[in-house]
Every structure is written in structure tokens, then in C-alpha cells.
A and B are shown apart, each in its own frame.
Chain A
Amino acid sequence: MKSYDVIVIGAGHNGLIVASKLASSGRKVLLIEAGETYGGMARSEVLFEGFQAPELASNAFGISKDVVQDLGLSKYEILFNEDGLKTVGLNTENENVIFGSSFGKSIEGIGKEEFKRWKELREKFFNQSHLFQRLASQIPVGGNHKTFGSKVNLFLTAAKLRLQGREQFQELLRMITMCIADLVEEELETPSLKGLISFDSTLGIKLGPRSPTSYLGLLYKLSQIKASYQEKSLSIHGGVTSFINALFKSAEENGVDFVFKGKVSSIIISDSVATGVKLENGVEYSAKTIVSSISPVNTFLDLVGAQNLETDLTRRIRALRYSGNTSKLNIILEEIPKLNNSQNLDENYRYVYAPSLASVESNFNSLKYNELPSDPNFEIYFNKISSESSLNGAVMASICIQNTPYSLKGGWKNSKEVLMKKVISTIQKLAPDFSKGILFKSLLLPHETEKKYCVAGGHWHHSELQIDSLYSLRPTFDVSDYSTPIDGLFICGAGTHPGGNLFGLSGLNAAKKILRESIK
């Protein structure tokens, strides 16, 4: 049996970060990945005629600055969009709004008064997101983790919020559990602007704009923007892949060993201490430290097994809400289509179809009852393909469809095509030539993501990012500090604090925790 200091399960971005960081401290690290290559849900897949691109993660804002600096990733080429990402809020009346980078620093397509109100609101949003931003890079203070430093940090976070002034603080307390619908309706008038903000607050979360606490979804997103290179997002063209490649190279240079196509079947545990892992093909590796970057549901229920865990913990893990609610439609087009107003769809923009707040809410209502939305909301990125092959010059449309039920009433068998058609016909209304140029299309539903990417429920965040599953409640209060009741086993996936998109802080925090533990 080969022996290592550390075994990391899952080569997603968090797994790569932990592996690289721990390897750089001189540990012998093995990274085991079930898939053929690294990247997890951000990995590249062959989509069409040899063309490779990330099948799920089309783009990401909020790569944590801390991660880039800590691992020294700037020496690798990460493709940032220097101008930031602009978003176009589409609607069928052709009254599109163009939402400037850094979440609407500037907006085209709305009146002067409306912009003034938005500017104030936006400032308030960003001020309040400070709460998350500050806590994101900390190991949550909770039952197991209550060092003096962590308590001081928590206190300072609260103090800083309070020091913004009495009124601001009261505003925060008033707003924090509100729904985004009430907040935007208090201040704004433009339907597509309200739709766009509601969409961004609830994408990937099982909440509608009128659900209480849906404002937290927005705060979370803004804090990610703040914790990253504010203005910059990853470039639409290969940005995600460049980031994942940089992580891989960093891990490789730090001496991490890799095993691909090695699905871990169980973590070997004796007397509540993790001593190694066993793969499905029977191979075993031993290590004193095992770090699982996969979903907490998979980690605890599949790899550790209920027979090694307290009933209280398995109860809480099984009670997590981890059914995915977003699907991904990838379409390859001959060329970039034109909009109704004969404007070219620009490949440097993100397009969001969420024409109004009511539309986002009605989409969510369908999700609630496991039905297909009648007029699905989605976001699109267009990505020009440059390759040697015949596809050169073609365009890939990455479409992320909100509110797709994990288990659809009546089953998915015939409805997959229906959902695809609905989305395409909506785009067709906006860009009449769209469907003519379609070379290839494929839709990945939550339950398909679950199977293909080995993540319970197919949830992008491993479990819901909601008020009851943040910070020291993520994934549950007794395992929120990345350690587990199994000695030597740690978790570091998106299911841990702070989770979310390609943030990367879950991995970095977990690595810090492990380093701290072993110094002890």
C-alpha cells in the first residue's frame, strides 16, 4: 500500500488548492480524481468534434484574491477580462438595459433619476456585503473552533459594521433577511433592471425573489466580487480553463501526485481514525490526513458510511438541501447571431433573460412544485471558438437555465427536449436567426450532473447557500471548521464555508486549518 502524508479526494478547484498548498508546506500529497482530468465541475469536456470547453462553468466572477496570491498563481497565465464583465438584460420589447461591470457601476438604458436611485441602492448593497467578505477568509467560529483570534475577528467584523453609523447599521438589520423583490421595488422602476437583479440574487439558489432572505444571495455574490479583483472577472474566452490550469500547474510544481479515473469507494477508518482510502478498483492508499473536496453528502454518507458516524450527524447531513436547481445548455452555432435591432450579440457580454421580477418569481413557483417554468430565465455567454478544425470561427453559447427541477413531475424523459425548445424559442424571439446556425446542442440536467460529476443532487454549491447554511452552519454546525468527527479526515468542498462558484476560499481555509492542526 502506497503511503502519503495527505490524500485529497476530488480534483475540483478546492481540491487542487488544498493539494497545492499542503504540498508547498513539504508534505507528500496524492490527489485522487474520479474523472479523466482535473477541474471538477469546471473541467473541460469534449463537446463537439473534438472541441473542448468547460461544460458546466461558463464563467466566473469572484476568484478570491487570497487564493491567487497565496498560491502565487499570477506567474501562470490567468485570462482576466480587464474591462470587467458587462451584462445585458434582455427583453422581448427590445428595451434592453446594459449593466456595467462590478455589478452595475454604470447602466445604459435607464433614466437619470432611476440611475441615481440605483447608485444609492448599489452602494448600500456593497456596504452590507462587507459582512460576508470579511468572514469569507476565516475558519468559522463555532463549537469546535473558538480561538481567541477568531473571536476577535468576529467582533471586529461586527464593530466595523456598527461603525458605519447607526443608520447604516439599522438598515443592515432591516434588510438582511428581506427578500430582494421588496428591496428593488422600494427603489426602482425599470422592469428589466428589477428582473436582472432578482435573477442574479437567486441564480443557483432555491429561492424566488419574493422568498424571505433572497437578498442574502445577492450580498453573497457581491462579497465575492469584492474579495476578488473587483473590476476583473475571468475572461469569457478560456478564463475558467486558464484558472483551473494554473491551479493544476501550481499543484504539479509543488510535487502533488495525481491519480485520475480513480473513484474512491470508501475512506478506511479504524477506531474513528481515518487511515487511508480505498478505490473502486481495489487499490488502497494510506495517509494520516485525508481531505475530501467532494460534497459533504458524498463524503459522509458514501465514503465514511453511516456505520462510522453518529446518528445525529447523519440526520443533519441527510437533511441538507442539495438538489440541484440549475441546468446547463451548450449550443454550438455557425456564427454569432444578430439581435432584433440588428445589433450583433457581443461575445464580451453576459446576456440575461429575466424580463421582469414577476417572471423570475413565476419561474421559481414552477421549481417549487417540480414543474417546468413556462418561460424559463437564463443567462448566456457567447464564446468564439478558435481552433485548427473546421469549427474555427464558430461560436459556443453557454446557457445557464435557472429553476430547473431535480426531479420533474412526470419525469424528465420527454421534457428535456421541451425545456431546450422553450429556451431556444425565447432566444429566437430576441435573435431571429439563432436556430438556423445550430450545429450542436446538449442539455445537462441536475440529475445528469449528479451522475457525471459525482456530486450528490447535482448542486453547483454542493448544498444550498442560504441563511441556515452559511458560515458556522455550513454544511452543519458540528463540522463547520473543516474537521470531522473522524480524526484525520477533513472536508474542503463547496459544501463548506464560504463555498460558492470558483471562489476557492473553502480549499484555502481548509488547508490553513490542517496546517494549524498538525503544528499542534
Chain B
Amino acid sequence: MIQSNGKNDRDIIFGKPLFRSPFYDFFAAQETEGNWYNWNGYKSPTIVSDQELEYFSIRSTCSVFDITPLNKYRIVGSQAVEFLNKLTVRDVAKQNVATVKYTLWCDQDGFVIDDGTLFRISDNDFRLCSQEKHLPWLIDTSHGFDVEIIDESKHVCGISLQGPTSASILRLLGVNGIDNLKPFHLFQTKISNIPIMISRTGFTGDLGYEIFLKNNVANKFIERVWNAGTNHGITAIGYNALNMARIEAGFIVANIDFISSDHAIRPNRCRRPDDLGLGWIVDLNKGFFNGRRAIINSKLEDSEVFKIYALEIDGKEPAEGSIIYYNKKDEVGTVTSAIWSPMTKKSIALAQLKLGSSKSKKDNLWVEIYSLKELQYHKLMKKVSIVKPPFVNLSRRSACPPAKC
């Protein structure tokens, strides 16, 4: 029974009513685990049926992940570029039409409020997708600019197709131009007369596409995709599998790997772009933007701050939530995300560490892991080495045209 709108689009089994994405029925029909979580007010699958299988569908076939719960803001108007240049840290004037850029926005202290992806649909038409809700901030920032901010989160839904066979499935669906679509580019097209916006983006570090469309055609669309993918190992996945892929790709998530300055209560929890390893996307020469002065000033002072690092850990125990020590005794930070990586066959982690400027500290880092083995904790002290993300770098991610498989 397919009911996506009207009375039944909220779920009352949870303590509070949760929204159901237009793809809810599709995922509900697949799932066997009953493992759901609340993502931004939507009832979303943590695991659909089997976490490992789902993860390997990202790496070897094609995964389907529902990205509807993302916040989607449409930014339209003659001063959209000027507005976005004040809001975000990149120079939006340099972003070509039909491209997508990963970006950040900061408050007046240069602390990161959130990150997101900015789709330039036409000269004066943008879509900004983010993990957290920011409508008041966007509206307040737009004061004085000829620009309109539309929250289209509830009207537009999205699906992410990630994995080596994703391009082939789209070819089967008759998407012309998929071979010429370069990473971080987008175009608008139709699948069986359903208008979609398709971009070669994703959160997995793999070949993959994100597709946005109107809610009312969601069921028809997912049916087509699913049927086209039967011979290409198409698999519906939940958050856990995606999370494994994104850690391997070295992507950070707001309020998991860093605290949004909107949410931080303790002042020393806020992070600047440099601390997140994202200083390279900040364009200090583009003129004024939110946080610019503070970011410039922070470069002058040599204070010790927490920064995000990518770590490889000896052994095969995942180090989630563990504390990192210098010389096995001085605490220097905490692991924020960690898995045992099936691709690298290593225990990998993202962590926030306060190391200061001394280089020597980096060579003497240890992590204390409490490993539960049949009701007994084993306390392990494992050697940690700092590496340059991503942990997994796949050539098919950027290959153009993508391989036929």
C-alpha cells in the first residue's frame, strides 16, 4: 500500500511524530531489521537488511540511499552570488553554472556553523544542501540583498546512487550525457518524463550520483531505478553503510566530527575552517564574508587549538569514542568517527587532537581502546599514525567517462 502524502506521512510509533520521506514505502518494503533512526525529523533506516552487504554494494555494485532529509534551500535573485559570497567562505563568483561545490559558512568569530554543498543551477539560481537547519541564518544574512531564500526541504526529495555500476544503471534509464558528466557537475534531464536534477556527487568517495526531484513523482521514479538496477546489484542501504564509506573517504560530518558553532555551549568547542583541515577552501581575497576578520586574526595568533586529523591505528579494533594519548600518558584528544575499513583492511579514524606546533608529538601518539570480547573488556594501547585523508582513493570516482560495468 503506497501512501506517501496526507495523513500518513508522519510516523507515530516513535515518541514524537516523524516525517516519512516520499521514498519511505520503498525502503520499508525492503527492510528486515526494524532499525530506524531520526534524521532531521525523518524516519530513516540505519540498516535496511545487512550492514556489510549494504556497504559492499557501495564499493562493488550500486547503492540507493535516501537523501530527502537533507535541508535544501533554494537561493534565487539578482544578488544571489553577492549574498552567497557573504554567507560562505568560497568565492561563488568563480563557481561555474552547472557545477557543485563543497562549502562552509562561519559566524563572526570565524567558527564553522555548518558545511554543505552548493549547486549552481543557473547564473542567479542556487541550491544549498546542509545537514542542519539554517533558514533564520540565511534569511538574516540576506538582509540588504536582492535575493529570495526558499526552504524546499519538504517539496524536493533526493536519492543518492553510489557505486561502480551506478553510471550503467543511469545509462539503462536512458540518461543521455551521463558519460560526459564530470565530478562536481550537474545537469537537468528527464527519466521516463520525470524531470530530475542529476549531479555527480556523493558522500562515499566512490563513483556516484545524487538526483533531486519533486515529491509527487518519487514513487514512479524509484520504481524505474530499481527495475533498471536488478542486473547491476542495486541495493537499498541505510546510514551505517554510508557512514563506513564516508569515513573511508575522509569526509567530516557536522555535530559528529565537529560541533556546529550554533550548537556549541562551551566556547572552546567551536572550530575554524583551518581546524577542520578545510582552510584551503577559504578565499580570503574575495572581499568581505562572515567570519573573514576573525579567520585572518586567528592565523596571526599561535594558540593551541583542536584540529581534525585522519588516523591509522595498529591492529583491527575500531577505536570509536576512544581517547588519544601522547607518549601513552598525556591526553591530546578524542576519536570522533572510527571503523575497521574493509577497503584498506585497517582500523581508521577521524579524531580531534590538540598537538600544538611541535612536530615530535605526532610520532608518539597512542589510542586506548576498550575492546569487548565475550563480556570482558580488553584494554588496548595501540600506536596511532597521522595520515593524509582520504583513506581510500578510487580512480573510478573521477574517471570520465565512467567505466561500463
B145 touches A306 (CB 8 A): yes
Evaluate contact between A312 and B108: CB separation under 8 angstroms: yes
Check B143–A318 contact: CB distance below 8 A.
Answer: yes
Q: Does B86 contact A (CB under 8 A)?
A: yes
Indicate whether A313 sits within 8 Å of B140 (C-beta atoms), given known contacts A272-B293, A307-B288.
Answer: no
Neighbour of A310 across the interface among B82, B144, B290, CB < 8 A? B290
Q: How large is the interface on B (under 10, 10 to 19, 20 to 34, 35 or more residues)?
A: 10 to 19
> Contacts A272-B288, A272-B293 known; A311 to B144 CB distance under 8 Å?
no
State A315–B141 Cα separation when bound (angstroms): 8
* Contacting residues, chain B, for A407 (C-beta < 8 A): none
Is B293 within 8 A of A311, CB to CB? no
A interface bracket (residues with beta carbon within 8 Å of B): 10 to 19
Given A301, A311, A318, which contacts B290 in the complex, CB threshold below 8 Å? Answer: A311
* With A271-B287, A272-B288, A272-B293 as contacts: A307 and B108 at CB distance below 8 Å: no
A315 adjacent to B293 (CB under 8 Å): no
Q: Is B137's beta carbon under 8 Å from chain A?
A: yes
How far is the CB of A489 from the nearest CB of chain B, in Å? Answer: 14
A310 partner residues in chain B, CB cutoff 8 A: 107-108, 290-291
Indicate if the CB atoms of B140 and A307 lie closer than 8 Å. no
A315 to chain B: closest residue by CB: B140
- The answer to whether B82 and A311 touch across the interface, beta carbons within 8 angstroms, is no
Contact with B along A13-43 (1 / 0, CB 8 A): 0000000000000000000000000000000
B292 CB contacts on chain A under 8 angstroms: 272
With A and B bound together, what is the CA distance between A66 and B109 in angstroms? 37
Cα distance A308–B287 when bound, in Å? 9
The answer to whether B107 and A307 have CB atoms under 8 Å apart is no
Q: Is the CB of B290 within 8 A of A307?
A: no
CB within 8 Å of B: which of A465-486?
A: 485
- Known contacts: A271-B287, A313-B108. The answer to whether A307 contacts B293 by CB under 8 A is no
> How far does the alpha carbon of A291 sit from the alpha carbon of B102 in the complex, in Å?
40
Min CB–CB distance A93 → chain B (angstroms): 52
- How many angstroms between the C-alpha atoms of A137 and B141 in the bound complex? 35
Proximity bits, A42-82, B CB within 8 Å = 1, else 0: 00000000000000000000000000000000000000000
Give the contacts of A432-488 with B (CB-CB under 8 A): 485
Q: Choose one: B108, B144, B293; the contact of A306 (CB below 8 Å).
A: B144
**In-complex Cβ contact of A485 among B140, B141, B293 (8 A):** B293
A315–B140 CA distance with the chains assembled, in angstroms? 6
> B244 to chain A: closest CB distance in Å?
36
Residue among A272, A310, A485 with most chain B CB within 10 A: A310
Residue of B nearest to A478 (CB): B108
Q: Are B293 and A312 in contact (CB under 8 A)?
A: no
Q: Which residue of B lies closest to A312 (CB)?
A: B108
Which residues of chain A are near B143, meaning CB under 8 Å? 301, 306, 314, 318
Q: How far is the CA of A307 from the CA of B141 in the complex (A)?
A: 9
A411 neighbours in B (Cβ, 8 Å): none
Within 8 A of A (CB), among B214-241: none
Contact of A109 with B by CB under 8 A:
no
A310 to B287, CA, bound (A): 13
Q: How far is the CA of A301 from the CA of B140 in the complex (A)?
A: 12
Q: A272-B293, A301-B144 are in contact. Are A311 and B108 (CB under 8 A)?
A: yes
The residues in B between 262 and 290 inclusive whose CB is less than 8 angstroms from any CB of A are 287-288, 290
A residues in contact with B86, CB < 8 Å = 306-307, 311
Please give, as numbers and ranges, the residues of chain A lying within 8 Å of B145 by CB-CB distance. Answer: 306-307
A-facing residues in B122-172 (Cβ within 8 Å): 137, 140-141, 143-145
Q: Are A311 and B288 in contact (CB under 8 A)?
A: no
What residues of chain B lie closer than 8 Å to A314, measured between beta carbons?
140, 143-144
Chain B 279-310 per-residue mask, 1 if CB under 8 angstroms from chain A, else 0: 00000000110111100000000000000000
Q: How far is the CB of A300 from chain B (nearest CB, A)?
A: 10
Shortest distance from the beta carbon of B302 to any chain A beta carbon, whole Å: 22
- CA–CA, A308 to B289, complex, Å? 8
Task: Provide the bound-state CA to CA distance between A426 and B117, in Å.
Answer: 65
CA distance A313 to B82 in the complex (A): 18
Q: How far is the CA of A310 from the CA of B137 in the complex (A)?
A: 11
CB-CB < 8 A to A307: which residues of B? Answer: 82, 86, 144-145, 288
A271 to B293, CA, bound (A): 10
Chain A residue at smallest Cβ distance from B287: A271
Most chain B CB inside 10 Å of its own CB: which residue of A272, A307, A312, A314 = A307
The residue of chain A having its C-beta at the shortest distance from the C-beta of B285 within the complex is A271
**A91 CB to nearest B CB, Å:** 47
CA distance A314 to B291 in the complex (A): 13
22 residue pairs A–B, Cβ–Cβ below 8 Å: A271-B287, A272-B288, A272-B292, A301-B143, A301-B144, A305-B144, A306-B86, A306-B141, A306-B143, A306-B144, A306-B145, A310-B107, A310-B291, A311-B86, A311-B141, A312-B108, A312-B290, A314-B140, A314-B143, A314-B144, A318-B143, A485-B293
Q: Using A305-B144, A310-B108, A313-B108 as known contacts, list a sample of 20 further A-B pairs with CB atoms less than 8 Å apart, ordered by residue number in A.
A: A271-B287, A272-B288, A272-B292, A301-B143, A306-B86, A306-B144, A306-B145, A307-B145, A307-B288, A310-B290, A311-B87, A311-B108, A311-B141, A311-B290, A312-B107, A312-B108, A314-B143, A314-B144, A318-B140, A318-B143
Q: Which 6 A-B pairs have the closest CB atoms?
A: A306-B144, A310-B108, A312-B108, A311-B141, A306-B143, A315-B140
